[in-house]
Amino acid sequence: MNKKNYIWDFDGTLFDTYPVMLTALRQTIAKHAIDYTGDLAYYIKRYSIRQFAQEYATPAFIDDYHELEASLQTDVRFYPEIPAILRTIVENGGQNFVVSHRDDRTYDYLGDLAGLFTDIITSDKGLARKPNPEALTYLIDSYHLAKEQTVMIGDRPLDVLAGQNAGIQTILFDEAGIFTDNEPHADWIVQTWENFKNEY
């Protein structure tokens, strides 16, 4: 690992939660009788479920979605390589952080992995959502992180933008190969955590 401070996104980065999120989203779309024929998987990677709700639904949509997703998300699993990556960072004197749009249930999902993070920022903290850099800046300032030794890691352009807006380097986890043109202009793109383990 060549950085010291790793700020991680949660959904689709540390944990493979998207299959259930998509199921909940499709069911909520059906419940609200929304006519959307586009690629939902692409849309929520490219933008967000919150933006989908703003563009296509009523205010009640996002509440219904969150309630359903929480009830379905019963077997939350991290990507298999993640625990070893997190431990290696700590063993090498580095630090891990989480910036998640989820609420404090993030701690429950992390379970024993929570001890590998110096700080975990959830939506309950009340900081602005990415791509606003407020949560990242909070971590940088609170823990006196050297920006040149700090990197933001996420699976969506808004994660990359948050890192860029905070003045740090970025890694885009593009498992599905959606952003092959690197339109978000991340400093690096990885498609497997095995590659990350060997390179970053």
Q: Compute φ and ψ for 187, nearest 5 degrees.
A: -70, -35
Beta-carbon neighbour count of residue 143 at 10 Å? 13
pLDDT band at 87 (very low <50, low <70, confident <90, very high): very high
For the chain, give the mean pLDDT. 93
CB 155, CB 162: distance < 8 Å? no
Q: Mean pLDDT, to the nearest integer, of 36-62?
A: 91
pLDDT band at 59 (very low <50, low <70, confident <90, very high): confident
Residue type, 119: D
pLDDT exceeds cutoff 70 at 177: yes
**Boundaries of domain holding 63:** 18-72
Q: Mean pLDDT, to the nearest integer, of 96-104?
A: 95
To which H or E segment does residue 141 belong?
A: helix 134-142
pLDDT exceeds cutoff 80 at 63: yes
Check whether residue 115 and residue 165 sit in a common domain: yes
Check whether residue 11 and residue 24 sit in a common domain: no
Give whole-number Cα distances, 168 to 45, 106, 160, 165, in Å: 21, 24, 10, 8
Check whether residue 96 and residue 177 sit in a common domain: yes
Check whether residue 48 and residue 112 sit in a common domain: no
Check whether residue 83 and residue 157 sit in a common domain: yes
Check whether residue 10 and residue 51 sit in a common domain: no
pLDDT band at 198 (very low <50, low <70, confident <90, very high): low
Check whether residue 41 and residue 98 sit in a common domain: no
Q: Point out the least confidently predicted range of 47-61, 139-153, 160-174.
A: 47-61
Q: Point out the least confidently predicted range of 31-35, 72-76, 187-191.
A: 72-76
Check whether residue 37 and residue 108 sit in a common domain: no
